[in-house]
Structure 1
Amino acid sequence: MSKRARHVVLELDLAGGVAFAPPANPLEAWRLRLAPSVRAVREGLRRAAGDDAVRGLVVHLGTCPLTLAQADEVAGLVADFTEHKPSIAWTATFGELTSGLAGYRAALGAGEVWLQPSGALGVAGVHLGITLLRGGLEKLGLDPQFGQRHEYKSAADQLGATEVSDANREMVQRLADSILDDTVARTAARRSLDPAPVREAVAQAPLSAARALEAGLVDRLGYRDEVYARLREQWGDGSGADGGDGGVDLRYLQRYHSDGGRRETLARLTRHHQPAVAVVDVTGPIVLGPARPGQAGDDVTARLREVGRDDDVSAVVLRVDSPGGSYVASDAMRREVVRLREAGTPVVATMGTAAASGGYFVAMAADEVVAQPTTLTGSIGVLAGKIVVGRLLERAGIVHEPVDAGPRASLMAATVPFDDEAWRVLDAWLDEVYADFTTKAAADRGLDLAVLEPLARGRVWTGADAAERGLVDHLGGSALALDRACALAGVERDRVRLATPSPLAFLKQLRPPESSEAAAAGARAAGFASVAAPVGPEALLRRLAEAVGVHLPHGVLSMPSGFEALLRPSGA
């Protein structure tokens, strides 16, 4: 065997997830140490497609702890590879009386799908929920007072409503229907089936492995050893019939990419001023000032300014995965995107699991916007208010007497309810922010305001529905965004350098920046701001809510709640 040429089969193990953004802290870096980055998947498969030594790809799905949009991103990259070389996706089960939708959507990119004989296919549809907290808050002595623009901005409903509104119910139902419709269409197309039997199979799910095979939703039933015996037989040199390895060398995709990356780095040293595409991440809730781990703040605007000063940067890919947050911070980020475009640097935004409200505000100014069909986006609206704690303090026997200097000093004080004048001020501000949001969105998207405004009103859309309405330009993932950025910049995709954030970017927090222009300036306090926990009644409420799985708004441009099943990885 030593004189024979060895064949390489790449392994992509999704059981531990995929890193879609640099880790925010050492703990997350340790947790993701074995997970491939989305760049390693994308660039590794791109190179492997033209590498004669690579014979195929095997994808282990496991519990697939990815969101639907992340699963679609991986599926698209695997499908691109499968156009050139064979691939197999396998798992023990697509859910065990739980949803296996993300794993199955990821598997659809492969040429063959294998399922363990004792497994199941849990694609029983999409389950979302609407949670209203006001009744429980009032029993605690907390009185929510919120305003919203407009009827679909149901993040305010979560805290301030006692009944589910027709608009809220309509929006959430359409989100679920859109994802199911896309799943049926995508399955039918990839599996060469008619949509009707696929929809019927969904109605009967979870399906046994045998039933899934009969319905044509998987190709083969087998255990792991049978999967690997099959690939050695098909992709090896024929020497595996006696139980040998078939002349096959298995390699994790991220290791393959890493080895190739070192060679590319050495090659780049011999080339000067190679054009670059810079990747800028907007990940997590958008906040004012320095961001804590898992948030986007001053670090994003600093990074955008940094790439704008780099003469080698020909284009920018803006990766947005955020439910929104602060209006002012979102507008500051959008401004930096506009400045890049005005300077002649094309910007393409690619949306992840969510790019809604403030997340959409940041992305909409890009030259082009790319989203996955299951991305949660839009939510062009605004909410604001407070939770009044006066009754809670009274029940607890705590005396609090407000002392103000100025007629509006207690406008947002948690101990003072809104009076008529305060509501007038709040409503005027909500109208002002909504008008600014919709006017800028219409201009950025090249739509008349009369066309854009009915699509706004705080409504969340899936990427598929948003594309039909002109809120995004393309359906796809980071590979498509990179292709479009290169095309707009007039550079060859195979000849550009990707300037992506380092996996150790969080270490910049330990080094004082030279000035406010340094990329590290935006993260100057992030690592230490999280040491002292936020205090106050609303901070306490947020911690209690998150402990039971309820996510409260992070700012006035926050996406409505109720979509935790789509925002959190399926295995979480």
Structure 2
Amino acid sequence: MKLSGNRFSKKNLFYSAPTKVHVKADAPRPSPLMRFIAWFWRNFLKICTLLGFMIIASAVLSSLYMRMTMPKGGIELPSKMVLQMTLKGTLPEKPQKDPVLAALGISKPSLYEITTALKQAKDDPKIKAFVLEIQPGSYAPPQLTELREAILDFKTSEKPLYVYAPSYEVTSSGLSGYYIASIFDEIWMQPVGMLSLTGFHTEQPYLKELMDWFGVKANVFKRKEYKNAMDSVTRSDMSPEEREAMQTLLGDMHDKISKEISASRGIAENIFESYVNVGILTDQEALEAKLVDRLGYGDELVHELNKRLGGTDDEMIPYISLEQYITFNTHGIISPLQILSKMAKEKLGYTEKPHGEIALIFAQGPITQYEPPNHGFDMGQPAVIAADKVAEYIYNAAHSEQIKTIVLRIDSPGGSPQASETIRRALIKAKEEGKRVVISMGYMCASGGYWIASAGDHIFANSMTITGSIGVVGAKFDMSGFWDKVMVNWEALNTAQNADLFSVSTPLSEAGRERYQEMMDTIYSAFINRVAEGRNLSYSTADELAGGRVWSGMRAQQNKLVDDIGDLNAALEWAAKDLGHETVNDAGVIIVPSPRAGLDALLSLLGVSVGRISATSQQIGDIHAALENSPAAEFITLGKQVQQYQKGINTYSPIRVE
């Protein structure tokens, strides 16, 4: 069939002919802003289509490259590996069967895929240990039971099992998260962390009085008395039948989980129940109760396990993520884009730059433990200081031979004490690696910001910087009075004394108040100890300067909380002279991570990270040209390096300090 040129000129995937519009000669011309909005809207779908096409094309080209360069026997994994899993968010039920998405690492493994992989890993001679990190999430108890059984089955292999979390207070139910952790050989928690064992709590609003006030009547038909789906709009309180059913249901789950945790930890059931009624245990309380085995940091766990498995500081045992392991077992490859990412890092991120001894890291915003999900695509500056990412940047700089000093610029009102401690620990490790740490305070470096800053060798602040605020604050809001005013009644059921500790619909009990006070005392004491240690002060002196009081940079210097008054340039100049250079240019400054733009941001969306520690403009230009002009040719050129990269999978850290 003959196709005329007109059939192509009208419309295709990336182009559509503009619609002819007749405009009167005297019609007002739209403003530049309106013209831009109109242009953007016309091209938005095309841009989305183009991005989608590029993602799929990259995956297909990567797969072709893998097939072309892969030896006949397939990819070979290292002979010794640690299987690492991060439990976060939810546990999907339905497996993702799309191999492209699986290879890209976009899809999340299902519960079935996880349990199947653990069965395979149990008998896999290359898997020498299993490490689990628990992050925030909402996990259904039946799903956790299945996962727990799979881990117990893996445990019969007698391979080491380690579990780690900065704090075990991040799951939907304290019992649920600890239910998984309790079966591991060693339970690790970061110092200053908290162990939540609040039991089960459920609450339901009843709106009948509000409905009556609005004149709304619900005609509900049900079979029979236990069918309570519409009770919230037909009743003012919980029916006896619902109370009986729900209390029995929660009680059954609570009893099963409590008994199994007690058995796993070798603790009498009545003793464990007493901890559950306490609700939240501080780090030392959890350690003394033998509910936690070690108070330590992720890097300590890595090195201890590495030593146990026969590794050395020069040859660390590599880690393979559960997602990579599943992809390998299912499709015979490790994610092509992850391999390409490692190649890009070799070409850009970890190639020694001939000039640059100072790493400059920026930390701006409230401090949180984890980076919010953005699918790898950074749209402007992040809104938070994510401890998992900032600590990674610090560790990367600490392990770079060319970097001699780390300058950390902090502009933060504070945030999570556990997250602050994660970043502080990274700075301490950098100092142990022989790096100097210089802190530059921005507009504000208060509370958790100062917790981090206290680890610096030398601290700079502007004379008007707001700093200090060395204290801790927490709150539980009680909205019961509000609900009374709007005629909404909440009914709650608990399986432990403090199960409703974090509910905003119930008043704070005396037992709950005591727990809050204990947490405040523990964190405050840890804060003072770190300030005293970092600033070479006595505990009493640090306590006198604390109390939650804010200081100007000028007064902070007078009180020895800050060393010098100066801006970021002053901090960089001090760092350069400390290294024996006359100027900052002589020392060289490398921003960590390297700023990304254009194609770099697109590569980030594809899971390829470039420019970690340093990259010359020539190097960036080289890889841009290669990827833009001939991606397949670049893949094949780099194909001979595939095997060596397979041996370096996730060698950085199994724990996402990240």
Report the TM-score when normalising by structure 2: 0.36
For CA contacts below 8 A with separation 6 or more, give which structure has more relative contact order. 1
Compare CA radii of gyration and give the structure with the larger one.
2
